[in-house]
Amino acid sequence: MNEKVNEKQKKDEILRILEENARLSDNEIAKMVDMDEDEVKSIISELENSGIIRKYKALINHDKTGIETVHAVIDVKVNPERNTGYDSIAERISRFPEVKSVRLISGEYDLSVLIEGKTMHKVAYFVAEKIAPLEGVRNTVTHFLLKTYKENGEMYEEEEKGERLAVTL
């Protein structure tokens, strides 16, 4: 029992470490959690195989890349279907590559959909041509994103930090 709890804790700790920085080597992680490198390797591949770790990606501040991209959040009101509820319509919407995320939400609307496109025009057309006409979609509202301040727990504008002294005893 105790061993199981311990293993669960180590797994959680490894996830926390990777969520913060996925580029650490197995060796570095092993040191941090006080385990063998091989043990860390096997835990990570187990996490990957079981689908807990979905992917390793970079968090990019697109405003700084100079490449124009436009994002919009679309609120979608739908008619849930018999048997499948919201799942089948959500899945249909999810399959478009322009769609970056789809979430079921509470409130006046049912789905919150994040769309990425090259221009505002393209995003607007995508909504009008691909999302709105879908069977079961009753209504949509499009919110274009103007600026990102924080994403996935990271501030996009570096917080100004007072400088520490190099030496304090």
Interface residue with other proteins among 21, 49, 65, 106 (CB under 8 A) is 21
Indicate the residue among 108 and 159 with the shorter CB distance to other proteins.
Answer: 159
Q: How far apart are alpha carbons 139 and 132 in whole angstroms? A: 7
**Window 32-91: residues binding other proteins (CB under 8 A):** 32-34
Q: How many of the chain's residues bind other proteins (CB under 8 A)?
A: 19
Instruction: Using the minimum distance from each CB to other proteins, give the nearer residue, 6 or 94.
Output: 6
Contact with other proteins (CB under 8 A) among 10, 11, 13, 37 = 13
Q: Which is nearer to other proteins, 16 or 138 (CB)?
A: 16
Nearer to other proteins, 14 or 72 (CB): 14
Taking the complex as a whole, the smallest distance from the CB of residue 165 to other proteins amounts, in Å, to 6
The 3-state secondary structure of the chain, one letter per residue: CHHHHHHHHHHHHHHHHHHHCCCCCHHHHHHHHCCCHHHHHHHHHHHHHCCCCCCCCCCCCHHHCCCCCEEEEEEEEECCECCCECHHHHHHHHCCCCEEEEEECCCCCCEEEEEEECCHHHHHHHHHHHHCCCCCEEEEEEEECCCCCEECCEECCCCCCCCCCCCCC
* Minimal distance, residue 43 CB to other proteins, in Å: 16
Binding-site ranges for other proteins (CB under 8 A): 13, 16-17, 21, 24, 28, 31-34, 159, 161-162, 164-169
